[in-house]
């Protein structure tokens, strides 16, 4: 596994506030030792494991998967190098914003509810948060149902 992917895994994990042990418990078939080795670039993880790590840590799957794919193809073409730089920059931005943002349990629950909400409800929530709409009771009711 590429060192870059391992670094992204560590940034996503620490940004989500997980220890290696806590993350390993969320990913079937992985131990804390496996995660440690992957973060150091000493162990290859499957795409499925990378997807599960991304989901558990709240980062995009592509930020980890694309980093792995582009690293493997690094020497093939200039376009691949450019794509890798863009992917890395996006992943670092996601990971750094995630790592600098600590969420409470209530905030994490709100994020999970938002992610499960329908597009229309998400738009209403954004209007309320921006102060453009005050019909909060309708939103809360639809999110909780």
pLDDT tens-place string over residues 7-61: 888 888 888 899 999 999 988 889 999 999 999 989 988 888 888 998 888 888 7
Give pLDDT, residue 129.
74
25 and 91 fall within a common domain: yes
Q: Is residue 65 domain-shared with residue 114, that is, in the same domain?
A: no
Predicted local distance difference test score (pLDDT) of residue 105: 81
In a shared domain, residues 75 and 138: no
Is the same domain home to 52 and 95? yes
CB 20 within 8 A of CB 35: yes
- Looking at the fold, whether 64 and 124 belong to one and the same domain comes out as no
Q: What is the pLDDT of residue 34?
A: 93
Tell me if residue 18 falls in helix, strand or coil.
coil
Are 45 and 88 contained in the same domain? yes
Residue 37 sits in a domain whose CATH number is: 1.10.260.40
Q: Are residues 119 and 94 in the same domain?
A: no
Cα–Cα distance measured from residue 59 to residue 91, given in angstroms and rounded to the nearest whole number: 8
24 shares a domain with 65:
yes
Task: Please tell me whether residues 31 and 16 are part of one structural domain.
Answer: yes
**pLDDT for position 67:** 60
Check whether residue 10 and residue 70 sit in a common domain. yes
Give the relative orientation of helices 119-129 and 136-144 as an angle to the nearest 10 degrees: 140
**Closest Cα partner for 38 from 25, 53, 26?**
53
Residue 74 has a pLDDT of 45
More confident residue, 52 or 140: 52
If one counts the domains in the chain, the total is 2
CB 24 within 8 A of CB 44: no
Bigger pLDDT: 7 or 89? 7
pTM over 0.85: no
Shared domain for 91 and 111, answered yes or no, is: no
- 110 and 96 belong to one structural domain: no
Look at residue 76 in the predicted model and tell me its pLDDT.
44
- Residue-range definition of the domain harbouring residue 64: 3-100
């Amino acid at each position: 596994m590429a060192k870059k992917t391992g670094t992204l895994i560590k940034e996503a994990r620490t940004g989500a506030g997980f220890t290696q042990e806590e993350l390993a418990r969320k990913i079937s078939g992985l131990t804390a030792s496996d995660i440690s080795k992957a973060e150091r670039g000493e162990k290859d993880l499957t795409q499925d494991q990378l997807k599960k790590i991304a989901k558990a840590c709240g980062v995009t799957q592509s930020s980890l998967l694309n980093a792995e794919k582009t690293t493997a193809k690094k020497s093939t073409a200039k376009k691949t190098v450019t794509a890798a730089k863009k992917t890395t920059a996006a992943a670092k931005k996601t990971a750094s914003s995630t790592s600098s943002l600590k969420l409470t349990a209530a905030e994490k629950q709100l994020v999970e509810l938002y992610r499960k909400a329908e597009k229309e409800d998400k738009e209403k929530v954004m209007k309320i948060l921006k102060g453009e709409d005050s019909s909060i009771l309708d939103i809360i009711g639809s999110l909780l149902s």
